[in-house]
Amino acid sequence: MSAPERFGARLAKAISARGPLCAGIDPHPGLLEAWGLPVDASGLERFALGATEVLAAETAIVKPQSAFFEAFGAAGVAVLERVVALARDAGALVLLDVKRGDIGSTMAAYTAAYVAGGAAIAADAITVSPYLGFGSLEQCVATGREAGRGVFVLARTSNPEAHALQSAKLPDGRTVAQSVVDAAAALNAGAGPLGDVGVVAGATIAPGELDLTALNGPVLAPGFGAQGATVADLRAVFGDALLAKGVLPASSRDILRHGPDAAALRTAVRATRELLAGPQENGQ
């Protein structure tokens, strides 16, 4: 039996075919209400499946936010499983935003749930937290690679509460966030066209705050759209070279607010894709 294709290689192909936009699927109660849906499991199902049907056909990768599904208990998790399957059937990769991070047997259980070969909710990649030590993620990364799956490690996130921790200086002069990037880069060394270990770096951070040149992996860039970051901000923070290789600007509310009409939702996601195409083309 041949080994599965690496996540980084699959992601590079998907970006080439559909562009870099990462479309969030966030069933926030306010969005359910804006779509005229009840804030219950039935409303969640109609929202999430309707959004996925459109977004997964238009983008390289979709990002369901697990917490909004978990809030509805077992029925919500069942909907999440259907979202993952529907997105894959439409040709999109699935980055499950779960932000898991723990040690020992607990992290092993999270790995079995999401990235192992027989994972219960088998996403193509998940978000993970390194703040119990980057080494606590190593088995998750290794198991994911065996199954052709990846991880995105929180490095410099877009929320203001994270600044004090992630920008704190280590004895060697690097910030905590930069040390996370460097650890991910070490795991990606020699991989092509992209490594399997991505990082999360907000599109709203200051230009030059992180050195991503050696990462050799994808960058999930939250903060684009509703949180205020523009295409110009993406270019300032990441530069044309990185934008052309593996930066995934993430947008959810700016697109999802155009539902529940499928045609309006499709128009919105296509407009966002076209907006992002400009910097890439200019950088080539």
pLDDT in tens, 37-92: 999 999 999 999 999 999 999 999 999 999 999 999 999 999 999 999 999 999 99
Mean pLDDT value of segment 16-43: 97
Q: What percent of the chain has pLDDT over 90?
A: 88
- Contact of 174 with 238, CB cutoff 8 Å: no
What are the tokens at 101? 């991070």
Annotation says 63 is catalytic: no
pLDDT tens per residue across span 127-161: 999 999 999 999 999 999 999 999 999 999 988 89
- pLDDT score, position 227: 67
Kindly report whether the global pTM for this prediction surpasses the value 0.85.
Answer: yes
Bond prior to 193 in cis (omega within 30° of 0):
yes
- pLDDT score, position 226: 67
pLDDT tens per residue across span 203-230: 999 999 999 999 999 999 998 876 678 9
Confidence of residue 281 (pLDDT cuts 50, 70, 90): very low
Encoded amino acid at 125, one letter: A
Phi, psi of 197 (to 5 degrees): -110, 105
Closest CA to 58 of 32, 24, 92: 92
In the numeric block, the tokens 């119990």 are attached to: 132
* Structural domains of the chain, with CATH: 7-277 (3.20.20.70)
Q: How far is Cα 44 from Cα 36, in angstroms, rounded to an integer?
A: 11
3-state secondary structure the chain: CCCCCCHHHHHHHHHHHHCCCEEEECCCHHHHHHCCCCCCHHHHHHHHHHHHHHHCCCCCEEEEEHHHHHCCHHHHHHHHHHHHHHHHHCCCEEEEEEEECCCHHHHHHHHHHHCCCCCCCCCCEEEECCCCCHHHHHHHHHHHHHCCCEEEEEEECCCHHHHHHHCCECCCCCEHHHHHHHHHHHHHCCCCCCCCEEEEECCCCCCCCCCCCCCCCCEEECCECCCCECHHHHHHHHHHHHHCCCEEEEECHHHHCCCCCHHHHHHHHHHHHHHHHHHHHHCC
Q: How far is Cα 134 from Cα 199, in angstroms, rounded to an integer?
A: 12
Q: How far is Cα 258 from Cα 52, in angstroms, rounded to an integer?
A: 14
- pLDDT score, position 282: 37
Which is catalytic among the residues 63, 99, 169, 245?
Answer: 99
